[in-house]
Structure 1
């Protein structure tokens, strides 16, 4: 009997540097690539926010469609379905005589719970669910310590892995694949099918995120060109805006690293290289912290005790904040930009969070849930990990009170232009 492997794509929507795909092709006669739009991804949360808002949903749909197109170009296709993976995949296993299922392991509780449900369903069919780890710059097995011994302090984590670990080369993208004989590969739903309204482009934004691997690779090359130009003018300020493609796995962090590293020897680019590398290391850190500590990051008290919460006015204050109507110009500008574009800089995220927590005395988890809905580059570990740190309830309690709201305002909007541009 021929061996068929079902490859379940989740937040890994690319062909390049995809060990799961490479391994499946090497060990099978044919594969069945599958992407499932899980309704839980678009459900409401207990904070009356959406798990996924319209801006990120559009990016996801674009990325899925781009993956299908890429697979078609090398002789394949992508099976697209709507529903629960733990229901759909076992049916596909039986229908297409699948011998094994591959997927990338996630770290947050909701995502890992779905994997567990699927694993249990496949166990009844005596089918193995094989886990791969492909979301980080450093592989777990290459770390100089087991997960339980990873330093809680970011600087210690960074220092030790940079000294004692290696970053592996990328896996090559396949140039040909054999897929199962499928009559109906499924249709990609529209935003309307997901009960979401498309976001009109805001003319104040000079950047547009378009989902998909090819768009991510194109933007990566634009970042490299921008680094070259910035090095010539010695303008060392560069926001790469690679995070959305990294979050959906349209770009591999190792691909970003090795491409950017080519610039390291060019004069005046080292600072920019280090800044992008720092962002990749923070992504790794929070993913590994989630593996080490579990779901403590989703609790209001986290690993400490959150500050004062004005319970009597919490809902009203939260509503003002999320609609950009607090009366504090810079904070309102940040939220307006977020609502209109799905993206704000890291310092803008910190500023909005600090104001919500300290000035409005709203529990930080409300803000984290709102960012989950709105951010185009949302991923659970980075979002909830950063919010917990800002609230002073992160796993590294030594970082409490390190965030300076007034300093952030000066750095974010020194001349008042930002607040003026994004006035709601």
Structure 2
């Protein structure tokens, strides 16, 4: 009997998971596995833990939901502690398995993990599945990807490129191999205290990690008229409904971009399309663009200067100033309010993300890499490609044709918090 290991990474779902479906067809035995890499416990060069409490708790809920789905279908989720190249190699040897199937992630660390497993003699089949559009359907190869998003979007729309259909949950999941020992159930993390001001209260059942809550939220979002007003409300700062809030589930892979798109098209077919529903497609394309940039540039996106001139002066880190930014103690009210919300809840609106990032880079003269690392530690919707792409863009070291974006914090406050309600809400 052939045994296949399925390695869950940032695709923590069964619906629309082509890699998992492929694994179910590849052997007579299948063992689903998730690795808790100790790299997440390390301290960054900037002096804080790489993964904070909010991210840990949202991940724990997501994994619990995935495990429940697998158990209901006669399988299980084996959670291992250790570096993937070590624990998966040892597991494969114990089971007599030679094949691992997983999703393809274009970021450098994730690429190195798969390469290390192959170097250990294992067959690792990686399947690209995290984007809305398939790279092979684009009107250009990824190494010729336009360096401007607008050029990319126009070409995609002119060619009428559409996403592949949603892949259903496999009707049958192969039986488990004989593990010869019980699957260890990970202890539940102590709850993080919920903050009633949160725009994404992940401690609630409606915003919990996992595909169950993700699909319920998708139904709820498209059940009313929120999608028809999205473009007008998307720059809001307070509450759940000003934006779609798909991003936490997209980031963990509990929800696929293609499932979100399918729900959007169903809504448009029943309720009609407008500028707001188009904008949801537009932002899913931005998410794709950052993924495709990783296919084109890879490690270059992780240099201090990113895609900019290598001779450009490296960004400067100012520890005391950076610490005040993280605490929300810069003295700039809109920035401080945003940083307090982020630390208290693990979430921040897209508008505030741009404001606080711009302030660190352009007003404080700080190192964009430290800011990107702080977002990585805090955000429940941290996504490696989008986080890196957005910070590079704002810093003028990515693909922004303007060479960087500075947002005037006073003007931003006047435009998006004219009555001061947000600043008052997060004044402490």
TM-score (norm 2): 0.90
Is the Cα contact below 8 Å between 1:4 and 1:180 reproduced in 2?
yes
SS of the residue corresponding to residue 316 of structure 1 reads: helix
Provide, for residues 297-325 of structure 1, a one-character-per-residue CA deviation record: whole Å limited to 9, x for no partner. Answer: 222322226679666xx111111110000
2-side partners of 1:176 and 1:294: how far apart? Answer: 36
Is the Cα contact below 8 Å between 2:101 and 2:125 reproduced in 1?
yes
Offset of residue 230 of structure 1: 6.5
Is residue 144 of structure 2 the alignment partner of residue 145 of structure 1?
no
Q: 1:20 to 1:232 in 2, by over 3 A?
A: closer
Provide, for residues 279-306 of structure 1, a one-character-per-residue CA deviation record: whole Å limited to 9, x for no partner. Answer: 2111111111112112222223222266
Is the Cα contact below 8 Å between 1:236 and 1:271 reproduced in 2?
no
Q: 1:67 to 1:300 in 2, by over 3 A?
A: same
Aligned to 1:185, which of 180, 183, 186? 183
Q: 1:162 to 1:229 in 2, by over 3 A?
A: closer
1-side partners of 2:267 and 2:97: how far apart? Answer: 44
TM-score (norm 1): 0.91
Alignment of 1:406-417 (within 5 A): 406=409, 407-417=411-421
SS of the residue corresponding to residue 419 of structure 1 reads: helix
**Larger CA deviation: 236-245 vs 100-109:** 236-245
Alignment of 1:8-407 (within 5 A): 8-121=7-120, 123=121, 127-164=122-159, 165-177=161-173, 178-182=175-179, 183-191=181-189, 198-205=191-198, 207-209=200-202, 210-226=208-224, 228=225, 231=228, 237=234, 238-266=242-270, 269-304=273-308, 314-394=318-398, 396-406=399-409, 407=411
Q: 1:50 to 1:19 in 2, by over 3 A?
A: same
Is the Cα contact below 8 Å between 1:81 and 1:187 reproduced in 2?
no
Provide, for residues 20-72 of structure 1, a one-character-per-residue CA deviation record: whole Å limited to 9, x for no partner. Answer: 11111122212111111110122211121322111011111111111111001
Unaligned runs of 5+ in 2: 203-207, 235-241
Q: 1:365 to 1:235 in 2, by over 3 A?
A: closer
SS of the residue corresponding to residue 48 of structure 2 reads: coil
SS of the residue corresponding to residue 295 of structure 1 reads: helix
Is the Cα contact below 8 Å between 1:351 and 1:409 reproduced in 2?
no
Q: 1:160 to 1:417 in 2, by over 3 A?
A: same
Provide, for residues 326-375 of structure 1, a one-character-per-residue CA deviation record: whole Å limited to 9, x for no partner. Answer: 11111000000000111111110000011111211111111111111111
Is the Cα contact below 8 Å between 1:199 and 1:340 reproduced in 2?
no
1-side partners of 2:185 and 2:115: how far apart? Answer: 27
Unaligned runs of 5+ in 1: 193-197
- Tell me which residue corresponds to 1:195: none
Is the Cα contact below 8 Å between 1:105 and 1:131 reproduced in 2?
yes
Q: 1:176 to 1:152 in 2, by over 3 A?
A: same
Is the Cα contact below 8 Å between 2:359 and 2:407 reproduced in 1?
no
- Tell me which residue corresponds to 2:237: none
Q: 1:215 to 1:230 in 2, by over 3 A?
A: closer
